[in-house]
Amino acid sequence: MSVANADLPLYGELGMTFMQWPQVTNLERSDAEVVVTGVPFDLATSGRPGARLGPAAIRQASANLIWEGARWPWSFALDDYLAVEDSGNLLFKHGEPQTLVDNLEAHIGSIVSSGKKALTFGGDHFITLPVLRAYAKKYGPVALVHVDAHTDTYSGGSRYDHGTIFHHAVQEGLVDHEHSIQLGIRTSYTVEGHPFEVLDAAWINDHGPTATLERIRARVGDKPIYVSFDIDGLDPAFAPGTGTPVVAGLTVDCALKLIRGLQGLDLIGMDVVEVAPAYDNAEITALAGATLALEFLYVLAATTHSLGVHK
Ligand SMILES: [Mn+2]
């Protein structure tokens, strides 16, 4: 006698796209409003490698978020308002970093030039530089909202270096630094002449998300905003799975409120970088990354369609 239930399939898809959203098969024909890309690159890390496995871990962790049709506290289901597709992982030659730079800028360029927004999962933080080059081609210098333990503005370093990218972004005119802000910083940088406003982790932890959002909004104004979220901006208690953790960071509660508080602003794209699952415990870092990205998408939909949260 068979034990199989005729009403149930015997096997299914692995669901390795982000949130089980459709995979992009033809970017030019896609009518997605947001395109997800994984960038499995970590040759620019200075500390522990492993962020190349971040995209897979974030997609896997997003499986925990799918059951909740309308994510609390939002009062609507995202799928009713925002079309998101996953383009898979960027292809490049792993031993030849310049192929990563060229392919990533071209890929993000093809997304944003067609009016779509890019949600990009690193990889180490170096990947943000080619992404910003693509964005700047369409938008000019963008306002940067950057969450990180590190400013990543060091002027030395090598050609492919995850600690120098925002120095180069300013030098190349990719970001409008006078309307950009760095949040959660708690490592040394040259304060004098620093191009960005900085709210360090202690200030944010003392003052809370509401006061922080006032400072963010005052800084960015009505500029197009790109959000770059290094997962090490979170405290290692919430994000141990990363290459260069630093204690005394932000809570996930605070970070989610900061993302949520961007509603109404001109948000054009986001990345979540430096998730390194080899150092993670119980997927908590990957889950934090997946959740922050999902909240960003809710904010996009809420902004476009004037939606909100349960009161
Ligand atoms: Mn960092």
User: DSSP readout, 102-169?
Assistant: HHHHHHHHHHHHTT-EEEEEESSGGGHHHHHHHHHHHHSSBEEEEE-SS----S-S-SS-TTSHHHHH
Ligand 1 mean position, distance from CA 4 (Å): 50
Measured in Å, residue 278 CA sits from the centre of ligand 1 at 17
* H-run or E-run covering 254: helix 252-260
Please name the amino acid found at residue 94: H
- Ligand 1 centroid – CA 83 distance (Å): 30
**Does this model's pTM top 0.85?**
yes
Contact 242, 274 (CB under 8 A): yes
CA of residue 148 to ligand 1 center, whole Å: 5
Instruction: Examine residue 4 and state whether it is found in any structural domain, yes or no.
Output: no
What is the distance in A from the centroid of ligand 1 to the CA of 276? 12
| Structural domain includes residue 86 | yes
CA–centroid distance, 162 to ligand 1, in Å, is: 8
Q: What is the CA(233)–ligand 1 centre distance, in A?
A: 7
Confirm if 147 and 276 have CB atoms less than 8 A apart: no
Q: What pLDDT does 14 receive? A: 61
Q: Is residue 11 part of a domain?
A: no
Residue 2 Cα distances to 5, 8, 133, 289, angstroms:
8, 13, 58, 43
Separation of alpha carbons 122 and 24, rounded Å:
18
| Secondary structure letter of residue 309 according to DSSP | B
Q: What CATH number corresponds to the domain at position 140?
A: 3.40.800.10
pLDDT of residue 1: 52
Write down the pLDDT at residue 11. Answer: 79
DSSP per residue, 201-235: HHHHHHHHHHHHHHHHHHHHTTS-EEEEEEGGGB-
State in Å: Cα 150 to ligand 1 middle. 5
Task: State the distance from the centre of ligand 1 to the C-alpha of 282, rounded, in angstroms.
Answer: 21
Distance from the alpha carbon of residue 265 to the mean position of ligand 1, in angstroms:
25
Distance 239 CA to ligand 1 centre (A): 12
Note whether residue 311 is domain-resident: no
Q: Which domain holds residue 174?
A: 22-305
Q: pLDDT by residue for the chain (311 residues), tens digit each? A: 566 777 887 876 666 899 999 999 899 999 999 999 999 999 999 889 999 999 999 999 999 999 998 999 999 999 999 999 999 999 999 899 999 999 999 999 999 999 999 999 999 999 999 999 999 999 999 999 999 999 999 998 889 999 999 999 999 999 999 999 999 999 999 999 999 999 999 999 999 999 999 999 999 999 999 999 999 999 999 999 999 999 999 999 999 999 999 999 999 999 999 999 999 999 999 999 999 999 999 999 999 999 999 98
Give a yes or no: residue 2 inside a domain: no
What is the tally of structural domains in the chain?
A: 1
Ligand 1: distance of its center to the CA of 28 in Å? Answer: 34
Cα separation, 115 vs 118, in Å, equals 10
For 39, counting Cβ atoms within 10 Å of its Cβ (0-12 exposed, 13-18 middle, 19+ buried), the class is buried
Q: What pLDDT does residue 13 have?
A: 62
Residue among 123, 124, 120 nearest 162 (CA): 124
Residue 3 resides in a domain: no
Query: What spacing in Å lies between the alpha carbon of 206 and ligand 1's midpoint?
Result: 21
Ligand 1 centroid distance, CA of 263 (Å): 25
Assess if residue 310 is contained within a domain. Answer: no
Classify residue 30 by its DSSP letter.
-
On whether residue 1 sits in a domain, the answer given is no
Instruction: Let me know: does 50 contact 42? Beta carbons within 8 Å.
Output: yes
| 138 neighbors 112 (Cβ within 8 angstroms) | yes
- Cα–Cα distance measured from residue 289 to residue 121, given in angstroms and rounded to the nearest whole number: 9
